[in-house]
Chain A
Amino acid sequence: MADLHTVNKSPFDKNSLEAAIKFSQAGSSILLIEDGVYGAMKGTSAEAMVKGAMGDKKMYALKSDLMARAIKDDRIIEGVTVVDYAGFVDLVEANDKVQAWL
């Protein structure tokens, strides 16, 4: 079992995503929510960091928050899994605990 790390801040505004990536174990899941979903966007200055993290961690992004911020499927980094609220619940259930990076 592993942990689920949630990130709700923009990677361009705060280092929450960077910290979550740095301080989470291999095999962890990182779920981007609220402004955190900007980290799932292609072509940004944060893309390389996110791609690097996906070498040994799973990356998810919440659909409703992507939609509100106009981040369409074709703008999402390959390998990032889009989940809805039910998928969020499944991730919580599948992991030992949830750690929030604010």
Chain B
Amino acid sequence: MSDIKKFMYLNRRAPYGTIYAWESLEVVLIGAAFDQQVSLMFMDDGVFQLVKGSDTSQSDMKNFLPTYRTLGDYGVRHLYVDKASLEARGLTTDDLIEVAWEDFETEEEVDNIVEAVDADQVVQLMAESEVVFSF
């Protein structure tokens, strides 16, 4: 496909309490098949989606945290996290999972594509996006 667009998935909901986080992940994985330039933005309670150490063994729910770790393999290039949202929740990037990325053609590798960004960067990144999907 020649018409590559910049897609951003905007995630503002906590995982598990509602279906938003899971639905977003599903759409990202489906969209990955269409070879677009994809980034994810996590803000407000959405930052909780990336907190490591989730254990759903007593909740009768699927733990979908491992799925985020595979996003790099699906062509997702950036997972941005709003710094202020982390701080308001007593979190740092140390609390978050790491997601590796590799370009299978050029063999370019990035150890972790999860990146904390400030409000100005969030504004810029969203403005640069051609399509924003909100969850």
Q: Could you say which residues of chain B place their CB within 8 Å of the CB of A34?
A: 16-17
Residue B51 at the chain A interface, CB threshold 8 Å = yes
Tell me if A5 is interfacial: C-beta within 8 Å of chain B: no
Q: Is the interface of B mostly helix, strand, loop or mixed?
A: loop
Contact A69-B51, Cβ < 8 Å, known A35-B16, A38-B14: yes
Report chain A residues within 8 Å CB of B54. Answer: 67-70
Nearest residue in B to A85 (C-beta to C-beta)? B58
Contact of B45 among A13, A64, A65, A67 (CB under 8 A): A13
Q: Are A68 and B61 in contact (CB under 8 A)?
A: yes
- 0/1 per residue, A48-80, Cβ < 8 Å to B? 000000000000000111011110100100000
Contacts of A45 in B (CB 8 A): 88-89
Q: What sequence of 0s and 1s flags, for each residue 26-51 of chain A, a beta carbon within 8 Å of any chain B beta carbon?
A: 00000000110010011111010000
Which residues on A sit within 8 Å (CB–CB) of B61? 68
Asked if A68 meets B16 with Cβ closer than 8 Å, knowing A38-B45, A43-B90, A44-B88, the reply is yes
B44 touches A12 (CB 8 A): yes
> Which of B27-85 touch A at CB < 8 Å?
44-45, 48, 51-59, 61, 63
**A side interface size, CB within 8 A:** 24
Give the complex CA separation of A67 and B17 in angstroms: 13
Given A8-B17, A10-B14, A13-B14, A70:B44 Cβ within 8 A: no
- Find residues 2-17 in chain A having any chain B CB closer than 8 Å to their own CB: 8-10, 12-13
Query: What are 30 inter-chain pairs, A to B, with CB distance below 8 A?
Result: A8-B17, A10-B14, A12-B44, A12-B89, A13-B13, A13-B44, A35-B14, A35-B16, A35-B18, A38-B45, A41-B90, A44-B90, A45-B88, A63-B58, A64-B58, A64-B59, A67-B54, A67-B56, A67-B58, A67-B59, A68-B16, A68-B55, A68-B56, A68-B58, A68-B59, A69-B16, A69-B48, A70-B52, A70-B54, A70-B55
- The residues of B with any CB-CB pair to A shorter than 8 Å are 13-18, 44-45, 48, 51-59, 61, 63, 88-90
User: A interface vs B, CB < 8 Å?
Assistant: 8-10, 12-13, 34-35, 38, 41-45, 47, 63-65, 67-70, 72, 75, 84
